[in-house]
């Protein structure tokens, strides 16, 4: 084990522990950024340059920003002094300690692991592109389909539903809609179109 590996590993693990234990959620998200960047550095240390930069682009660039936005959108400043751990947290800590002990014991006592490091493999972007287009073309297509489905699904889930196609019995057909909140601009627009096209609805655009 070389010295850079130890330094990067210590920084990554400390940042991950901070991301899981701090009280302020924004601090947790920023610690997560440090942990993910440390993982990218570990990938670079292991001669996986493409994966390292993909990790930086996807995780540090996209997922961390998404998490920060979610933290800011769901922040409630009503009770800042409430507990951050769920009841029964001691059992969870014990379970994860047992998991780590099992994994660590099996790593340290397994005989089949290769002892010395082979010379660094050459994984250029050209090789990766060739492999993606020949051997792994079917998983690539499936990933594209999955990303499209996840994109549409995330938009539909997070979109505020105001049940635009119902007539006078809107409140009866939407038991899950939040009645106390003002309608969003999108629902307002749909409702105006509905009023304009049918002309039977009264007072919808109040």
Partner 1 sequence: MTPLQGCLLVSALLFAIGLAGAVTRRNAILALVGIELMLNAANLNFIAFWRYGPNPEALSGMMVVIFSIAIAAAEAAVGLALIITIYRHYKTANLDEIRNLKG
Give the footprint of partner 1 on residues 159-178 (CB under 8 A): 160, 175-176, 178
Nearest CA-CA partner of 163 in 152, 151, 174: 174
Task: Please report the sign of the dihedral spanned by the C-alpha atoms of residue 8, residue 10, residue 11, residue 15.
Answer: positive
Token pair recorded at residue 114 = 């290769």
For residue 62, the 8-state DSSP code is I
**Nearest distance in Å: CB 40, partner 1:** 10
> Near partner 1 by CB under 8 A, which window of 47-55, 165-173, 185-193, 197-205?
47-55
One residue of 34, 41, 43, 204 binding partner 1 per CB under 8 A: 43
Instruction: With CB under 8 A as the rule, give the number of residues binding partner 1.
Output: 89
Residue closer to partner 1, measured from CB, 146 or 198: 146
Nearest CA-CA partner of 39 in 77, 5, 21, 12: 12
One residue of 11, 30, 123, 187 binding partner 1 per CB under 8 A: 123
Q: Distance between CA 77 and CA 90 in Å, rounded? A: 27
38 contacts 60 by C-beta, under 8 angstroms:
no
Token pair recorded at residue 116 = 């010395």
Q: Any contact of residue 114 with partner 1 (CB under 8 A)?
A: yes
One residue of 4, 7, 27, 62 binding partner 1 per CB under 8 A: 62
Q: Any contact of residue 5 with partner 1 (CB under 8 A)?
A: yes
One residue of 3, 37, 77, 89 binding partner 1 per CB under 8 A: 89
- Side-chain-side CA neighbours of residue 161 (13 Å): 14
Residue closer to partner 1, measured from CB, 158 or 206: 158
Residue closer to partner 1, measured from CB, 130 or 192: 130
């Amino acid at each position: 084990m070389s010295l850079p590996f130890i330094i990067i590993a210590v920084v990554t693990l400390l940042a991950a522990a901070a991301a899981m234990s701090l009280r302020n959620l924004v601090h947790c998200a920023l610690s997560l950024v440090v942990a993910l960047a440390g993982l990218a550095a570990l990938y670079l240390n292991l001669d996986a340059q493409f994966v390292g930069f993909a990790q930086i682009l996807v995780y540090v660039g996209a997922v961390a920003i998404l998490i920060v936005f979610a933290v800011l959108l769901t922040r409630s400043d009503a009770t800042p002094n409430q507990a951050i751990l769920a009841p029964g947290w001691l059992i969870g800590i014990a379970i994860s300690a047992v998991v780590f002990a099992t994994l660590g014991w099996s790593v340290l006592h397994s005989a089949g692991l290769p002892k010395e490091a082979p010379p660094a493999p050459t994984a250029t972007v050209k090789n990766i592109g060739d492999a993606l287009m020949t051997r792994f073309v079917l998983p690539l297509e499936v990933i594209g389909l999955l990303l499209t489905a996840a994109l549409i699904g995330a938009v539909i889930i997070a979109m505020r539903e105001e049940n635009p196609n119902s007539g006078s019995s809107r409140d009866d057909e939407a038991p899950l809609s939040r009645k106390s909140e003002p309608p969003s601009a999108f629902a307002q627009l749909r409702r105006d179109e509905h009023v304009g096209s049918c002309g039977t609805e009264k007072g919808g655009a109040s």
